[in-house]
Chain A
Amino acid sequence: MAILINKKNIKLQQEASDWEDAVRQSGQLLLQNHSIDFVYINEMIQAVKTLGPYMVIVPHVALSHARPGKHVKKNDISLLTLKTPVTFGNKDNDPVSIIFSFCATENEGHLLFLQKMGNLLDDAHAMKVIQESSNLDEVDKTINC
């Protein structure tokens, strides 16, 4: 399998003060990789505020993103895991300790990586490693091999 999440876009067992801080930190990884401009991070936060915490699509996992558009420079995805989980206000799937953030330049181009994303979310063993590990090499291998 080709690389799903670039190793330098992965940060493990971080501390976040609340969901907003967590989304901001995970967006920061996309910003550092020159995949978005900072406006996109604000849009991701605004999305949760206006649309509700539906992005927590499976227990303990948020798939954070905003609309494709001019604030996105290239398709990319990041992973942030938290030492202490945060709540998004999604009563079925809170608390959240894994945040995937993605950005896409257009509506269709990222279909393949979302498909891989779906398979990853469905892989209980891989998700357990992602949730618990603080070893970057181990998580990289789990996601990208």
Chain B
Amino acid sequence: MKRLKILTVCGFGVGSSLVLKMKLDELLKEEKIDAHVETADVGSASSTPCDIIFTSKELSEKLTDSVSIPVVSISNFIDKNEIKQAGLAKIKELIGE
């Protein structure tokens, strides 16, 4: 099985996306899923190879049209429960669980 690559995206790739990455890393650890989480800014996100994108609602609207992979939108970046509800099923689908 190839290692899943997840991208968290915010405006500049240096703030909110890092906070989201932290929470996503925690969730993946809890769920015992081995995946790599990277951050990116919204401008370079569509040209960064990855399997799935996590970002805010506003930015997901900008991204959905330019990428062909799943884009998960999150409104509360530290709410692990929301991240789990919104994205875990898609992650499991991608790794074939």
Contacts and interface: CB of A to CB of B under 8 A. Distances in A.
Interface of A: 47, 51-55, 57-59, 63, 65-68, 90, 92-93, 102, 104, 107, 110-111, 114-115, 117-118, 121-122
B77 interface: yes
B19 A65 contact: no
A53 B58 contact: yes
A115 B77 contact: no
B66 to A, nearest CB: 15
Given A51-B58, A54-B59, A67 B14 contact: yes
B11 A55 contact: yes
Given A54-B11, A102-B15, A121-B78, 19 more contacts: A51-B11, A54-B16, A54-B57, A54-B59, A55-B11, A55-B15, A57-B19, A58-B77, A58-B78, A65-B12, A68-B12, A92-B57, A92-B76, A93-B75, A107-B13, A114-B15, A114-B22, A115-B18, A122-B78
B77 A57 contact: yes
B18 A114 contact: yes
B18 A111 contact: yes
Interface string B1-40: 0000000001111111011101100000000000000000
A67 B10 CA distance: 11
Contacts of A104: 14
Interface of B: 10-16, 18-20, 22-23, 42, 55-59, 75-79
B81 to A, nearest CB: 12
Nearest to A120: B78
Nearest to A114: B18
Nearest to B80: A122
